Structure 1
Amino acid sequence: MSFFRNTIWFMKGLKEYTKNGYLSASKNFCEKDLEVDVSGRSFMITGANSGIGKSAAIEIAKRGGVVHMVCRDPKRGEDALNEIKEITGSQNIKLHQLDMSKPNDVLKFTKEFETSGEKLNVLINNAGCMVNTREVTEEGYEKNFATNTLGTHILTTGLTSVLSKYDDPRVIIVTSGGMLTQKLNIDDLQSEKLSSFDGTMVYAQNKRQQVVMTEIYATKYPSIHFSCMHPGWADTPAVRSAMPSFYEKMKDRLRSAEQGADTAVWLALIPNIKQKPNGEFYQDRQVVSKHLPLAWTKSSSQENEELVKKLDEMVKSLPQV
């Protein structure tokens, strides 16, 4: 079954996820959707110092939004901050240092932001990692899971109280079409039972988890619009470092970071987001299926709820700030 899923997915990717796929899809875009002024609205973007996150920060800053850049590396974050200010002419950009693989730090960050009095209308969960050998963090979590799933969960749920105070709140999770090859597995969240560790597969499983989390959040926090999106196969520093062989084979077909960021920017900026389906998976500004045909990747509502329950239990086990 995994061979079938991977083959169908790759063929789909060659058609839809490349730059040609973007150019084809973009023929149906409405240009006026992004002709907006979002002055006074506040946006938080994780992993905002490079790739898709940086591209999203630039597009939002160009339109007057206040941008909170959340970055792991303070030097790279500062360099990106200065570059974005120079490109956009905006001074409404703020830098926060945070490593999303450290749950204690993420929880502390949400508490501090909540009490800071800062406004927040839109959260874009973009930061992620693909570690190709099994690493365990100081807090005892497998690093891909800690960053992609647990960190995203802590940040999102921790900021819902801030988001819900303001008009038209939104949360966008940058996930991956690679999740289409995976069925949710709640019995091995830490990838401890694998006969051999495959970083690409673990990453795809994390991205499936994010899609499920988006569904649950949309039900649990109905005043906030939740969505997840696939950026396509984009040429970013993360792809070059984590998937060098894939990059070398596909580099001439990859989307630009700007093209990869387009749907996240669209979801963050378009007016009347509540007219769009909540809790869905988007690609090139359209809701698309969360499953490949005949791939048997659907999980039950009980399994989906169990995932979030386990994540909540992990959060409760952290030292409370």
Structure 2
Amino acid sequence: MSLYRNGVWFLKGMKEYTKGGYEKASQHFQPADLDVNLKGRSFMVTGGSSGVGKSIVEDLAKRGAVVHLLCRNTERAETIKDQIKQTTGNEDITIHALDLSKPAEVYKWAKNFAESHHKLDVLINNAGAMLNVKTVTLDGLDAGFAANTLAPHILTTQLISKLSQSDDARVIMVSSGGMLVQKLSVTDLQNDNSPYDGTMAYAHNKRQQVIMSEQYARKYPSIYFCSMHPGWADTPGVETAMPGFYSKMKDRLRTPQQGADTALWLAIASAPKTFVSGQFFQDRNPTSTHLPLAKTKCTPEEEVLFMNKLDDLVTKFSKNSGGDTLPGPGTTEDVITAATIIVNSALASAVATVVSQLVIVPIFLDVIANLILVNFVVLVTAAVHFIHYHRHCWWVCSITSEIPLDYHGNLHLYAVISQVGIS
């Protein structure tokens, strides 16, 4: 089933997630949707010092918004802030130092912000961490889960009171289309029960984010919630983690601005609120949260249990005074940097030797074999997709040396576009 999901997802990505996919979708955009004066509106953006997040901050600032930028790397963020001030003339940009892998600190910070600031209209949970080496904090949490899932939940729930005071409050979760290959495992939220796979753990976190948005929408009807997929974007994380792949894929990647477009649209345009709260968006349109027959749906009871477990963790860490949550000496950034180095080495050497022998035909045949077991209808659909994308075969063959295998020996197509580290 995992190979089926990965194969169908990759074909979908080739059609929709690239720069070409964006350009096709954007033909139906209404440019006037983003012609909005944000003077007096207050926005909070996590991970806004690079990539998609940076683009979001720039677009908010140029429209006159008050922007609160949360990030670990304050030195880089201060540089970005100065650049944005110079280009936009907007002085209302504030940097807040916060390590999202430390839940007690996130809780304390959010409570302090809610008490000390008079206004917040929009929260954009953009920061993300993809760690290919299992990292457990001193709090006993998976570091990716702490940053990608628990931190956004803490920020969202602890800022609800402040958001509720706005007449147009919104919470945007920058998720990923990679979540389509994962089902929520309510019994293994932190990916502890099987050999660790960083890209699939990241996809699981992104599935969790989508469910969180759906649940928030039900619980807080006065606030507009949504999640979104930015597509395959040209970000520093991709360039740093996979230089070989990046050099071959660069012309097909979306720009950071294209990746940020839907998040910005969801945050400031009036059109999104014509849709039901809690939906998952791609290129300014709500889209399905499941691939056909991928068996990634969970029960309503499982979703409620998931949210209850998150609330239990919030209660636990709200009682803590804070402190280091790192696995041994150093900082979270040190751990992530070390993990990145390990991943880069693996991708550049051992993995490349094995995968370079692969070609598109056996990849497609493996997908077909899985499809036959599932449903004839899906088999026909995949065949149509394959014919439509035959012109891309040369490209896929040329980049296989950059695609890793998981511990089952399956192609890890998702890994080639995942960002590494917390922005």
TM-score class normalised by the smaller sequence = over 0.9
The residue that corresponds to 2:117 in the other structure is 117
Q: CA deviation at 1:250?
A: 2.3
Q: CA deviation at 1:271?
A: 2.1
TM-score where L is the length of structure 2: 0.74
* Contact persistence 1:19–1:255 (CA under 8 A): yes
The residue that corresponds to 1:178 in the other structure is 178
* Contact persistence 1:131–1:242 (CA under 8 A): no
1:256-275 Cα shifts (integer Å, max 9, x gaps): 11100000000011026432
Q: Distance in 1 between matches of 2:2 and 2:51?
A: 30
Q: Distance in 2 between matches of 1:241 and 1:118?
A: 39
Q: Distance in 1 between matches of 2:276 and 2:88?
A: 31
Q: CA deviation at 1:86?
A: 1.4
The residue that corresponds to 1:233 in the other structure is 232
Structure 2 residue identity aligned to 1:300:
T
Between 1:252-261 and 1:239-248, the stretch displaced more is: 239-248
1:26-78 Cα shifts (integer Å, max 9, x gaps): 00000110011011100000001111111001111111111111111111111
- SS for the counterpart of 2:295 is coil
The residue that corresponds to 1:222 in the other structure is 221
Q: Distance in 1 between matches of 2:305 and 2:318?
A: 22
The residue that corresponds to 1:134 in the other structure is 134
Q: CA deviation at 1:185?
A: 0.6
1:93-147 Cα shifts (integer Å, max 9, x gaps): 1111111111011101111101103310000000011010000112221111010
Q: Distance in 2 between matches of 1:286 and 1:143?
A: 32
Between 1:211-220 and 1:239-248, the stretch displaced more is: 239-248
Q: Distance in 2 between matches of 1:296 and 1:245?
A: 34
- SS for the counterpart of 2:69 is strand
User: RMSD over aligned Cα, in angstroms?
Assistant: 1.3
Distance 1:272 1:253, change over 3 A: closer
Q: CA deviation at 1:249?
A: 4.5
TM-score where L is the length of structure 1: 0.97
Distance 1:186 1:7, change over 3 A: same
Task: Report how many aligned residue pairs link the two structures.
Answer: 320
Provide structure 1 residue ranges, at least 5 long, that are not aligned to the other structure.
none
The residue that corresponds to 1:62 in the other structure is 62
Structure 2 residue identity aligned to 1:201:
M
Between 1:56-65 and 1:243-252, the stretch displaced more is: 243-252
The residue that corresponds to 1:28 in the other structure is 28
Q: CA deviation at 1:87?
A: 1.8
- SS for the counterpart of 1:130 is coil
Report the structure number with the largest CA radius of gyration: 2
The residue that corresponds to 1:255 in the other structure is 254
Q: Distance in 1 between matches of 2:245 and 2:217?
A: 34
The residue that corresponds to 2:288 in the other structure is 289
* Contact persistence 2:33–2:271 (CA under 8 A): no
Q: CA deviation at 1:319?
A: 4.0
Structure 1 residue identity aligned to 2:30:
C
Q: CA deviation at 1:190?
A: 1.8
Q: Distance in 1 between matches of 2:253 and 2:53?
A: 17
* Contact persistence 1:129–1:238 (CA under 8 A): no
Q: Distance in 2 between matches of 1:254 and 1:51?
A: 12
Q: Distance in 2 between matches of 1:287 and 1:273?
A: 9
Q: Distance in 1 between matches of 2:251 and 2:112?
A: 43
- SS for the counterpart of 1:251 is helix
The residue that corresponds to 1:2 in the other structure is 2
Instruction: Give the alignment of 1:5-154 within 5 angstroms.
Output: 5-154=5-154
* Contact persistence 1:42–1:122 (CA under 8 A): yes
After TM superposition, the runs of 4+ consecutive aligned structure 1 residues lying more than 4 A away are 242-246
Structure 1 residue identity aligned to 2:201:
V
Between 1:44-53 and 1:183-192, the stretch displaced more is: 183-192
Q: Distance in 2 between matches of 1:244 and 1:132?
A: 17
Structure 1 residue identity aligned to 2:73:
D
* Contact persistence 2:224–2:278 (CA under 8 A): yes
Between 1:232-241 and 1:104-113, the stretch displaced more is: 232-241
Q: Distance in 1 between matches of 2:224 and 2:169?
A: 6
* Contact persistence 2:48–2:57 (CA under 8 A): yes
Q: Distance in 1 between matches of 2:118 and 2:75?
A: 23
* Contact persistence 1:168–1:224 (CA under 8 A): yes
Q: CA deviation at 1:21?
A: 0.4
Q: Distance in 2 between matches of 1:246 and 1:177?
A: 19
1:238-261 Cα shifts (integer Å, max 9, x gaps): 333455565345222110111000
* Contact persistence 1:282–1:288 (CA under 8 A): yes
Provide structure 2 residue ranges, at least 5 long, that are not aligned to the other structure.
322-423
